[in-house]
Amino acid sequence: MPILPLDHPETFPATLGVMLYPATDAAETRKARAFAVQYLAKPIRSLYEAGGTLSYDVLAQIAMDAGQPLTDLKERWWGGMATGEALKAFFALANTNPALASWNNAIKITQSIAKSFKLKGARTDLWKAKHRFLSAAHLWGAWSIREGRFERRPEVGYDWYADFQAFLTEAEILREWGQTWQPSRAKSAPPLPPDLWRVPDNWAPPARQPGWPKTGMIPHITLPEECLAKLRATGRPRKLS
Can you give the pLDDT of all 241 residues of the chain as single tens digits?
A: 999 999 988 899 999 999 999 999 999 999 999 998 888 766 544 444 555 554 545 544 554 555 678 899 999 999 999 999 999 999 999 999 999 999 999 999 999 999 999 999 999 999 999 999 999 999 999 999 999 999 999 999 999 999 999 999 999 999 999 999 998 877 789 999 999 999 999 999 999 999 999 999 999 999 999 889 889 887 655 554 4
Same domain membership, residue 94 and residue 169 = yes
* Total domain count, the chain: 2
- Measure the CA–CA gap between 119 and 18, rounded to whole angstroms: 25
Residue 66 and residue 83 share a domain = no
Residues 147 and 234 in one domain: yes
Regarding whether 77 and 66 lie in a shared domain, the answer is no
Asked if residue 85 and residue 25 are part of one domain, the reply reads no
| Among 50, 71, 92, residue at a domain's last position | 71
Residue ranges of alpha helices (H) inside 97-240 are: 103-116, 123-133, 137-145, 160-180, 225-228
The Cα 13–Cα 38 span in angstroms is 9
Which pLDDT does position 230 carry in this prediction? 84
Q: How far apart are the C-alpha atoms of 237 and 183, rounded to whole Å?
A: 9
Do 91 and 106 lie in one domain? The reply is yes
Q: What is the CA radius of gyration of the chain?
A: 20
Q: How far apart are CA 95 and CA 88, in angstroms?
A: 11
Q: If we measure between CA atoms, which residue out of 204, 197, 201 comes closest to residue 3?
A: 197
pLDDT of residue 186: 72
Domain co-membership, 91 together with 1: no
Cα–Cα distance for residue pair 25/17, rounded to 1 Å: 14
Cα 104 → chain centroid: 19
Structural domain boundaries, residue 112: 73-241
Q: What is the pLDDT of residue 5?
A: 96
- 103, 193: one domain: yes
51, 71, 91 — which closes off a domain? 71
* Intra-chain end-to-end CA distance of the chain, in Å: 33
- Predicted TM-score (pTM) of the model is 0.88
CA distances to 81, 124, 173, 178 from 90, rounded to whole Å, are 14, 17, 14, 9
Phi, psi angles (nearest 5°) of residue 114:
-60, -40
Residues, the chain: 241
Report the pLDDT value the prediction gives residue 55, as an integer from 0 to 100.
Answer: 53
Q: Let me know: does 228 contact 96? Beta carbons within 8 Å.
A: yes
Q: Choose the final residue of a domain: 71, 89, 122.
A: 71
Question: Are residues 40 and 90 part of one domain?
Answer: no
Q: Specify whether 19 is located in the same domain as 110.
A: no
Could you tell me if 99 and 44 lie in one domain? no
